[in-house]
Structure 1
Amino acid sequence: MPINETKSSINNETTRCLQSVDQERNISRRTVIQKLAIGSAALAGCSMLPEKWTTPIMELGSLPAHATTSGELKEALDSIVAATTSEVPEEVEDTAVAAVTSDAPQETLDMAAAGTGKFSLVFSQTVMACDSCGIWFDSAQLVVEHSEGTFTSSRSSSMLIKKTRGSANFNADLSGIPASATIQKATLVMSLNTHEGIANSDFKSVIAVHDSSGNFVRNITARDDIRGKGYSKANPNVPVDFTDYARQVHGK
C-alpha cells in the first residue's frame, strides 16, 4: 500500500477514535451529573424523614412506564405531589373552626326576655353579714311609669331571702302596658318586716337579682339600697330601681 494512503488511513482511524472518546466522555459527564443530582435529592429527602414512622395518610399512584425513563419524570412527580399534598387554605380552615366554636353573642343572651312582657325576677342572697342574717320582706309592689300612664303589680306574700334558706321570686306581666308607650321609670318597692326584716348590725348583706333565664340584672346591697335609702321601722319601704330591665321586657 502506498505510504500516503497508509498515513491517510491512520489519520482517519485516529480521528474516529478521538471522536469516540469525546462521546464517551460526554456520556460519562452527563451520567455523573445525573447521579450527583439524584444523590443530592436523596440526601435532601433523608433530612426530611421523621424520627418515627407513622401510617401514611395519603396514597401515591404509580408512574407510567415511559415516565420513568424519559424527560417526563419530573412533570409526573410534580403532578402526583401536587395532587396528594394539597391542603385546605388557612382562611377556609379558620372559617370552619369559627363556625363550629362560635357562641351566641352576650347581647343576645342578655336580651332573652326582650319584648315578652314577662317581668320575672329571682332574688338570692350571696353575702351574709352573719349566720342568721337573712332579709325578710312582707310584700312588694312594682310601679311602672310610662308615657301613657302608670302600671302597678303587687305581691302580698312574704319574701324571705337567705343564703341558707333559698331564693324568692317576683313576677309581673307588663303586656298591659301599650306597645306604643315609652317606659320612663320602674321601681320595685319592697316592704321589710318591721320585726325581723334585717339585723340592726347588717350593712354587708348582698342580694343578687337574676331574671328567670338566669341572666344577671343587678345587686341589692344592705349598705346602699336598704340602709342608704333611710330604712327604719317607721319607714320600712325599700325602693329598688328596675327601669332598664322593665324597658328590656317591654321591648322599648
Structure 2
Amino acid sequence: MNPVLNMDAATLSPIALFLQADWVVKSVMAGLLLASIWTWAIIIAFSGRLRRTRAEMGRFERDFWKAEDIDAFHKAESNRDLPSARVFSAGVQEWRRSTASGTVDKGGTRERLATSMGAAVALEIDKLSDRLNILATIGSVAPFVGLFGTVWGIMRSFTSIASAQNSSLAVVAPGIAEALFATAIGLFAAIPAVIAYNRFSHGVNKVEAGLNRFADGFHTTLSRQLDAAR
C-alpha cells in the first residue's frame, strides 16, 4: 500500500479538513455546525409543541361542544394555556361587553365578535409560528454561506499552487476538499431546515384552519342567542 495515499486519506478526513482550514473557512464551518444544531433543537421542540397543541385543542373543542352552560365552561376553562381557550375567551369577553347595556346592536355585535375572535386567531398563529422564521432563514442562507467557504477555499488552493509552483493532486486536494466540505456542511444545515419548515408550516396552517372553524362555530352559537333575544 502506498504511504502517500494513506497520508492523503488521513488528511482528507472531516476533522482533519476542519483543522487544516484557515480561520475564514473554520468560521464558516463552525457557524454552519451551530446552525445545524440550532435547527435540530427547533425541530425537536416545535414538533412536540405542535403535536401537544393539536391534541389539546381537539379535546378542548370536544368538551366545549358538549358543554350546556357557556358561562360555566368559560369559568372552568378560560385560563388554559391553549390557543382555542384564548380565542374562546376573546369571544366571551366581547360578547359580555357588547351585551352589557340594555339595548343591543345585533349587527354591530356580530361584527365585533368576528373581529375580536379573528384577531385572537391571528395572534395565536403568530405566537405558534414564531420560530419558523429561523428555519426559513437557515434553509435559505446556509447553502450560500457554505458556498462562500467553498469559494474562499478554492482561492486558497490556487494560492497554494502558485506558491508551490506545483499543480499535483497532493497540493491541490486538501484545499479543494476543505472548500467542498464547507458546502457539504451548508447543505447539511439547510436541507433539514427546509423540510422542517415546510412540514411545520403545513401543521400551523391546519391549526389556523381549526381555530377559524372553532371561532366560526362559536360565532354562530352567539349569533343564535342574539336572534333569540328581544
The TM-score with structure 2 as length reference comes to: 0.22
The TM-score with structure 1 as length reference comes to: 0.20
| Structure number having the greater helix percentage | 2
Query: Which has the bigger relative contact order, CA under 8 A and spacing at least 6?
Result: 2
Q: Which has the larger radius of gyration?
A: 1
